[in-house]
Amino acid sequence: MGKKRTISHEEKKIQVVLQIKRNTNEKLSNYANDNDVSKSEVVQQLLEEFLEKDEKPYC
């Protein structure tokens, strides 16, 4: 039997971020297809809604 390679904390963080990115992109694609719009239109709409709700500037 071979020695099992351990995953470093940094590698695990990268794996988690990439999984979140894949999941988000898939959900965004599905939403865009279901609503017959482009992904960029969906992102623009979400950004506008976020900015409307959040009046405080980030500094």
Q: What is the pLDDT along the chain (59 residues), one digit of tens a residue?
A: 567 778 899 999 999 999 999 999 999 999 999 999 999 999 999 899 888 887 666 66
* Cα–Cα distance, 14 to 6 (Å, whole number): 15
- What total number of domains does the chain contain? 1
Full residue range of the structural domain in which residue 23 is found: 9-55
Phi, psi of 14 (to 5 degrees): -65, -45
State the Cα–Cα distance between residues 51 and 43, nearest whole angstrom.
Answer: 12
**43 within a domain of the structure (yes/no):** yes
pTM: 0.60
Q: Is residue 46, in this structure, part of any structural domain at all?
A: yes
Other Cβ atoms less than 10 A from the Cβ of 28: the count is 15
Return the pLDDT at 7: 83
Residue 1 in any domain: the answer is no
- Note whether residue 47 is domain-resident: yes
Helix, strand, coil distribution of the chain in percent, nearest 5: 70, 0, 30
